[in-house]
Chain A
């Protein structure tokens, strides 16, 4: 709703001057407060708007000073420290080889035990992943971060899978030494994780 244009009179140093009120919508009403003068534009405009509109009370633009008075305290700071997240992933505690209720196993193998070494990921999980595009029926199981003699591990995995699946004639495996990973065609995540856990990785 646009206010009607209405001339209003301001007394400025004894000389009456006529200013035109610029029409504004209610949402953007601004008060022009000049020194020594009171602007009666808004109330007059509201009166002119009609008998149905009520006179709005003058807005308080000052916040009471008592609101600014605060009590400074450190008594509850321990509750704030609880909320701060950790900067790094915490280290799990437990005896090597211990099986936790969720099925997570504490690693027990050391780098010298075997010709190869498979460390846990940053989240302390086994680095065995399933690559699968949801639309294609193409599954690739990959073991990553393999250190040391990766070909020895690949031979052991091939032997293990041949034992588990006697009906399978070919096990397609790809050993990528620079990327420290072994890729096997098919879904063998559970089998490979069990194999690595038995070794203690």
Chain B
């Protein structure tokens, strides 16, 4: 039995086109949920699909400034995103968390608490802890250093994020145990009454905490 996951390829050219035609909203950080909300992709976690991986095609024409979170990215892709002032993170989603992330409305309809996202398996933990891959488990200080080094390697000036109008969106990050931005594990979202139910029991809170 193979544990290797397969990833849906997403070319940089397609990503740029989705942004140009307003198909992908850029006023929020882009992650698996936002990419699936375009309706242009299908992911089945039961078939051992891990999420999205960014491909090199169309890398030269990539001009958007985005905060993107995918499951796999190579060096050239990372450089193209950072050159335009954006941020890229690679994050692992275990099958249950991925099922929740790709179809949030269906998941909230089940009425269960948002689960804690699990850590990557042994063969992937090195990838996601490496600052060169902008892994979500890597030390942010090391990631910042790698950003600077990559800019030197590819020969571009790293834009200052503090000067950007989208500073808040670009600097938003998820906790390693979080599936959705702003929503913590343990919460139950009631779409009908438009409220969020949060547990108050200290045992439950400890269970769901990071």
Contact = CB atoms under 8 A, between A and B. Distances in A.
Nearest to A75: B196
Nearest to A124: B21
Interface stretch (B122-130, B132-140, B178-186): B178-186
Contact of A69 (B16, B61, B188, B201): B201
Contact of A73 (B39, B58, B195, B204): B195
Contacts of B199: 67, 70-71
B7 interface: no
Nearest to A65: B201
B61 A101 contact: yes
B110 to A, nearest CB: 14
Interface in B22-59: 22-23, 28, 33, 36-37, 39, 58
Given A67-B201, A101-B61, A80 B189 contact: yes
Contacts, number: 101
B96 interface: no
Contacts of B191: 80
Interface of B: 13, 16-17, 19-23, 28, 33, 36-37, 39, 58, 61-64, 104-105, 108, 180-183, 188-189, 191, 194-201, 203-204
Task: Please give me the 8 A-B residue pairs with the lowest Cβ-Cβ distance, nearest first.
Answer: A79-B182, A100-B20, A85-B37, A102-B16, A102-B17, A101-B63, A83-B104, A92-B21
27 contacts: A69-B201, A70-B198, A71-B198, A71-B199, A72-B197, A73-B197, A74-B194, A75-B196, A79-B180, A82-B181, A83-B37, A84-B37, A85-B36, A85-B37, A90-B21, A90-B22, A92-B21, A92-B22, A93-B22, A100-B16, A100-B17, A101-B16, A101-B62, A102-B17, A104-B17, A104-B21, A123-B21
